[in-house]
Amino acid sequence: MTTLERTQVSAGLPMAAPESVGMSAARLGRISDAMRRHIEARDATGIVTLVARHGRVVHFEAQGAMDIDGSAPMGLDTVFRLASMTKPVTSVAAMILHEEGHFFLDDPISRFLPAFKTMMVNAGSPPAGSHIPGVGLVPAHRPITMRDCLTHTAGFVSNEAINRTSVTQTIAERTLELAKRPLAFQPGTDWRYGPGHEVAGVVVEAISGMTLEAFCQERIFAPLGMPDSSFYLPEEKVGRFPTLYQAARLDEATGWKLKEVDRPATSVKVRGPKVQFAGGGGLLSTPADYARFGQMLLNGGELDGVRLLGRKSVELMTTNHIGGFFNYVRGRGYGYGLGFGVRTDLVGYPAVGTVGTYGWGGATGPYYSADPKEGLLCLLFQQVNAPEVPGPDDAFSDDPKAPGIPRRIGQELEQFAYQAIVD
């Protein structure tokens, strides 16, 4: 097998000369320089970037190392923690069942998860001196729906009920704790990033009678040819699993430093009980695997003769469902669809682009952007969490010396990809 053939296999999609799909090789070279600067600045230990256009990979590069000691180079086949880039996969799993007629998007999730049948909403504190009993909690005006879960409009307070319980509990067991907590607002009346996709994943399990892992393997990963995607890592692949870090400010004298968060040899993703299949943030995958997933969606639900979804379902998923609610995670200029941020204008977001572009990222460093009009797919993978002390917009640290964080580096990749389009 030639070097080109090996690279084609590892890229997940066919490779092509940039000029053959209307892109400039010289301009794409700016990606390498930018990522190298981030590695030298210790924003990340290693980064993998992939750009594809019209189904052909025109840039695929690994730089840096898998840990801060530089003992192993970052590889093209590195297996990354996806964190919230799991959400699009869970949304596809749900929409497969939606297409089969198991539910409508506005059906109550209590059809499948009865614990959510009667929800209360935190209506705020009583007026001072009123002494009105029960004014703090009111019944939900309507049930929580699958659309609410997939668009973060259910009113769930936070991920706390999902995150702060035993690693031996299943996500289904954890959601029972979530069902006991009052909602932050009436369903459908605001946008708040939270555990909706964990709940949606449990609905997938309830309908299918399978774990979310088994469902994704059978209905998504195996058909698409994604052999390195799973919720837990087989021990034989641990050599391809990088250390996870977080940018932390230790003190004024030391400044910012990458602090180890999760080491491969002891990671729960390798050694854990392997019972938690979190639809909002539990998957592991490689750039090649995720490129196949992303291209399937860009193709309208089909790749290499395998169709997972109909074109109209993909259109529905990548349409803004939240109106004018503020998507504070992606920022101005973005709404939210069914598992994706969806770009709604060109002026509210720092990078150039196209209205209708969609994608998401993860707290552990990956970033995903897809532009249907330009046929452009951008993927960035690293393993550094955002700084412990975010800035006031929940996006950037207010310390000018803070390391670059995942979202900014992902935006840079988008910027460099778009400026390389020359047709």
For 168-226, write each residue's pLDDT tens digit: 899 999 999 899 999 999 999 999 999 999 999 999 999 999 999 999 999 999 999 99
Higher-pLDDT residue of 407, 304:
304
Spatial distance between the Cα atoms of 33 and 147, rounded to a whole number of angstroms? 41
Higher-pLDDT residue of 26, 247:
26
In a domain, 144, yes or no: no
CA 158-162-164 angle, to 5 degrees, is 100
Q: Please state at what angle helix 3-11 crosses helix 287-298, rounded to 10 degrees.
A: 60
Q: Decide: 363 and 385 in contact? Cβ < 8 Å.
A: yes
In a domain, 377, yes or no: yes
pLDDT level of residue 2 (50, 70, 90 thresholds): very low
Please give the residue range of the domain that contains residue 394. Answer: 3-76+241-259+283-419
Average pLDDT of the residues in 87-92: 98
> What is the pLDDT, as a whole number, of residue 351?
81
Instruction: Give 315: exposed, middle or buried? Use CB within 10 Å, 0-12, 13-18, 19+.
Output: middle
Total number of domains constituting the chain: 1
Spatial distance between the Cα atoms of 64 and 250, rounded to a whole number of angstroms? 24
Whether 227 shows a pLDDT value over 90: the answer reads yes
Whether 111 shows a pLDDT value over 70: the answer reads yes
In a domain, 191, yes or no: no
> What is the pLDDT, as a whole number, of residue 333?
93
DSSP 10-50: HHSS-B--GGGGTB-HHHHHHHHHHHHHHHHTTS-SEEEEE
> What is the pLDDT, as a whole number, of residue 167?
79
Backbone angles phi, psi at 412, to 5 degrees: -65, -40
In a domain, 127, yes or no: no
Q: Decide: 294 and 379 in contact? Cβ < 8 Å.
A: yes
In a domain, 83, yes or no: no
Spatial distance between the Cα atoms of 151 and 294, rounded to a whole number of angstroms? 19
Average pLDDT of the residues in 51-80: 96
In a domain, 246, yes or no: yes
Amino acid type, 356: G
In a domain, 101, yes or no: no
109-113, 122-126, 223-227, 278-282: lowest mean pLDDT where?
122-126
DSSP 55-66: TEEEEEEEEEBS
In a domain, 413, yes or no: yes
Identify how many contiguous H helices and E strands the chain contains and give both numbers. Answer: 13, 16
What's this model's pTM, rounded to 2 decimal places?
0.92
Mean pLDDT of the chain: 90
Report the CATH number that the domain containing residue 386 is assigned in CATH. Answer: 3.40.710.10
Residue 8, helix vs strand vs coil: helix
Whether 249 shows a pLDDT value over 80: the answer reads no
> What is the pLDDT, as a whole number, of residue 257?
82
Q: How is residue 347 written in tokens?
A: 């002026």
For 359-391, write each residue's pLDDT tens digit: 999 999 999 999 999 999 999 999 998 765 443
For 315-336, write each residue's pLDDT tens digit: 999 999 999 999 999 889 999 9
Spatial distance between the Cα atoms of 303 and 45, rounded to a whole number of angstroms? 33
Strand spans (E) along 283-356: 284-285, 302-303, 306-307, 334-336, 341-343
